[in-house]
Amino acid sequence: MEDKQLEQLLTKALSSTVEPSEDLNLIIKNRVKENKTMKPVHKRMAVALIAAAIFIMSGSAFAAWQLLSPKQVAEKLGDKALAKAFDSENAIQINESVTSGDYTFTLHGITSGENLSDFKSSARDILPDRTYAVVSIAKKDGTSIAKAGSEDGSEDYQELNFIVSPLIKGQKPWQVNIFTMNGGYSECVVDGVIYRMVDCDNIEMFADRGVYLYVGTGIFINNQTVNYNEETGEITLNENSKEAGALFDLPLDVNKADHEKAQKYLKELFPESSPESSPSDFESAAEDSSFVNWEDKLDGAVVIPESIKEVTCDENGYAYYEYNRDSLSFLLDSMLDVLESGEWKTVRISDDDKQIKAIQFSKDENDVIIGRTLSKSK
């Protein structure tokens, strides 16, 4: 087939003539308008006072008393029911601060339960049992998060991006996070500090496993911001991250853990396998359900000579192996960590009616990874 012909076919097949419906565009426009009108008015207060307090008080004692309480934040956002919930015994007041990069991140409090909020959303309608957390983000130097000279920082601060997400110990952060847990947030800027109220499916069911709350600059959760330890399930901040970030341990009541419910919840996210060994869809073989002893299944399999090749790498640290339309990509460093020099490890196995195929990797003394494919007839 000629390249030109292929190009034409691909263009025809993959281009799209479908336009978004007018209704859909209207929803977006309305939501933009709603966000603008719902944004609480920014009141200017003595920034110098806050700056002084930050200067004097460091570490976890960061001037949390100067900041709004979760109840006040809920009130600012116009959610009276939630404000009441944050005032109840069920709510946990935390007030812990971490300074990272140019920012001080404070976790104020958290509460969970059914129908706690006045506001309706599709996620809340489907799963009314929610967790709400209030965090604040302030500039480390005490200046306003809004641009200097701005009377109302509500427009200017939007140049900054922050992500707040619960993470579950034992679950890969890029798989189980605010996005997958039906999360959302609303926020306001008060006295130069951003207050963000995040909500997601109730995380108390995971209380016995360990739950974190990540707060940081950026838009997404990925391996640039946090590390995940495959063996222990621990999640830690990536020290090499260019983003500022904090990872809080949430002091949830272990008695509220519900192992069965948590398993069921995770099973819905990972139906193909048990939650603890759920396969990665981030194309990382190293993240894949670790190395299983498949040697018995592969007994008698033959290495395809032409499949033996060095993996290719890109500058983002991803390596790539492909043979006969079977491809695999993974984080190079993660893979190097688990490979033993000179030993082949099976990273993927697949079978159909006729044959079993496996991809194996090995590394040499110079940390060059070689891939190969094995085949065995059934």
Closest CA to 83 of 136, 154, 134: 134
Residue whose CB is less far from other proteins, 66 or 222:
222
DSSP-assigned beta bridge partners for residue 131: 112, 200
Q: What x/- string results for residues 141 through 160 when contact with other proteins is judged by CB under 8 A?
A: -----------------xx-
Confirm or reject binding of residue 177 to other proteins (CB under 8 A). Answer: yes
Per CB under 8 A, which region of 9-17, 206-214, 227-235, 298-306 contacts other proteins?
A: 9-17
Q: How far apart are CB 256 and other proteins at their closest, in Å? A: 23
Closest CA to 352 of 324, 376, 316, 368: 376
Q: How many residues bind other proteins (CB under 8 A)?
A: 55
What does 236-274 look like in DSSP terms, one character per residue?
EE-TT-SS-EEEEEP---GGG--HHHHHHHHHHH-TTS-
Residue whose CB is less far from other proteins, 348 or 376:
348
> Side chain identity at 252, as an amino acid letter?
L
Q: Give the residue, chosen from 4, 13, 296, 378, that forms a contact with other proteins under the rule CB under 8 A.
A: 13
Distance CA 50, CA 190 (A): 12
Closest CA to 374 of 274, 294, 266: 294
Distance CA 68, CA 343 (A): 57
3-state SS assignment for residue 216: strand
Residue whose CB is less far from other proteins, 79 or 201:
201
Give the helix/strand (H/E) hosting 338: helix 332-338
Confirm or reject binding of residue 65 to other proteins (CB under 8 A). Answer: no
Buried b (16+ CB within 10 A) or exposed e, 252-261: beeeebeeee
Report 202-241 residues binding other proteins (CB under 8 A).
219-222
Q: Give the residue, chosen from 24, 41, 61, 81, that forms a contact with other proteins under the rule CB under 8 A.
A: 24
Confirm or reject binding of residue 294 to other proteins (CB under 8 A). Answer: no
Q: How far apart are CB 50 and other proteins at their closest, in Å? A: 25
Other C-beta atoms lying within 10 Å of the C-beta of residue 176 = 24
Residue whose CB is less far from other proteins, 21 or 255:
21
Residue whose CB is less far from other proteins, 12 or 120:
12
CB 111 within 8 A of CB 71: no
Distance CA 67, CA 63 (A): 7
Confirm or reject binding of residue 314 to other proteins (CB under 8 A). Answer: yes
Q: Give the residue, chosen from 84, 129, 270, 303, that forms a contact with other proteins under the rule CB under 8 A.
A: 270
Per CB under 8 A, which region of 53-61, 226-234, 320-328, 362-370 contacts other proteins?
A: 320-328
Distance CA 374, CA 249 (A): 44
Report 94-113 residues binding other proteins (CB under 8 A).
none
Per CB under 8 A, which region of 81-89, 111-119, 188-196, 278-286 contacts other proteins?
A: 278-286
Confirm or reject binding of residue 119 to other proteins (CB under 8 A). Answer: no
**Chain positions contacting other proteins, by CB under 8 A:** 1, 6, 9-20, 24-25, 27-29, 31-32, 35, 158-159, 161, 174-177, 179-182, 219-222, 268-271, 281-283, 312, 314-316, 318, 320, 322, 325, 327-329
